[in-house]
Amino acid sequence: MLRTLAMLACGLCSTTAIAADIDAYHVPTDGRPAEIAIIGEIRYGDERKFASVASRFRRAIVGLASPGGNVWAAVHIGDIIRRKRFTTAVAPKMTCASSCALIWLAGTHRYVWENAKIGFHGVFNGQTLQTSGPGNGMFGAYLNKLGLSYEAIAYLTAASPTDMTWLHGADAKRVGIAATAISESDNDTLMVADAPVPRSLRDQAIEFVGQWFNAWNTLSDNEIMPWLATRYADTIVFNGAAVPVAKVFETKQNIVNDWPLHRYDVGKDMIVNCIERLLECEATGTATLIVAKAPTDTGKYATTRWSFYLGKVSPTKFVIMRESWVSLTKSGG
């Protein structure tokens, strides 16, 4: 398993890529998970490349071989991996450090070969090499969202920008970072761990909501509206009023136009209830919309309570019939 990743990474290790090489290199037809590889330096924009590849699969193992790179891109990629419940792995003799390690942490199952290396350090400004307060704040919030303990967060962020904390099995166990170490002869372990399970209507609704937020966070400005257009009824109840769906898209397009960088951090409090006989589900929760003009901006955020009422219109498709957003807190930057 993931031998392709190891061979590709070895072939690329002597080159400098403009952005990470991200693609699916093994797509089985027997129900087993696909294999996606992320190889090379992670750059801003790679999150959109990964979103495009990941959208093709319900189940995948993401193999990693990277020295790190852009934290914003890595956090977005990690969000996609966690919401789609993908597995992450670092292949034999490969290194996954800095922002790459953030991606590895997002795996629902995490694997590392015994002779692979995973390294962490605090977030810093790439030009000044000074510790980045906002960057480390994003780092800590991301780790907290993954369910890691305060002890684990302190351990992973302890190293300075010029140093590295290499994750060891004993330390991972001590601070509660679940991971499985395997040898090169144990590749099939991944297949066993990712055996398919039946999906209920509620599970499908949860997946739909995750895809909605993933799309908002990762698709390009030209891609987001066409993607959303296929996920809504023609007329919906938006914030309590029945309106043509075009009015909803106008509101969302304004956000995209005004804020080139936009993402939702979704809370862990999502509740989903379904009426099986009607094939309808209601999902509610909280999310923080973070917007900025450029990656270096402090940006602004607004925490809201959201609600989607979903109707299943085909065996594989939900549409949003009602949607509402209630502002809870705001902050300017």
CA-CA-CA-CA dihedral for 218, 219, 225, 227, to nearest 10: -100
Same domain, yes or no: 72 and 41: yes
The two beta strands, 241-244 and 232-238, are antiparallel
Residue with tokens 């962020």: 157
Same domain, yes or no: 35 and 168: yes
Structure-token pair, residue 310: 């979903």
Same domain, yes or no: 132 and 17: yes
Looking at 159, 193, 227, the residue that finishes a domain is 193
- With beta carbons less than 8 A apart as the criterion, state whether 332 and 300 touch: yes
> What pLDDT was estimated at residue 183?
67
The 3-state secondary structure of 227-274 reads HHHCCEEEEEEECCEEEEHHHHHHHHHHHHHHCCEEEEEECCCCEEEE
Amino acid at 11: G
Looking at 193, 226, 248, the residue that finishes a domain is 193
> Among candidates 125, 137, 73, which has minimal Cα distance to 102?
73
By the 10 Å C-beta count (0-12 exposed, 13-18 middle, 19+ buried), 294 is classed as exposed
Could you give the number of structural domains in the chain?
A: 2
Same domain, yes or no: 101 and 240: no
- Each of the 333 residues of the chain gets a pLDDT tens digit; together they read 455 555 545 544 444 445 678 888 777 666 678 889 898 889 988 999 999 899 888 888 998 988 888 888 998 999 999 988 899 988 777 889 888 989 999 998 888 887 888 988 766 554 544 555 555 566 667 777 788 777 777 777 777 767 788 887 777 777 778 788 776 555 555 544 444 445 688 988 998 998 888 888 888 778 888 888 889 988 899 999 998 888 888 888 888 888 778 788 888 889 999 998 889 999 999 998 888 877 766 668 788 999 999 998 877 789 999 999 998 887 754
Same domain, yes or no: 8 and 145: yes
Looking at 193, 211, 234, the residue that finishes a domain is 193
pTM over 0.95: no
Same domain, yes or no: 167 and 231: no
- Quick count: other Cβ atoms within 10 Å of Cβ 16? 7
Tell me the residue range of the domain where 186 lies: 3-193
The CATH code of the domain that includes 240 is: 3.10.450.50
Same domain, yes or no: 144 and 178: yes
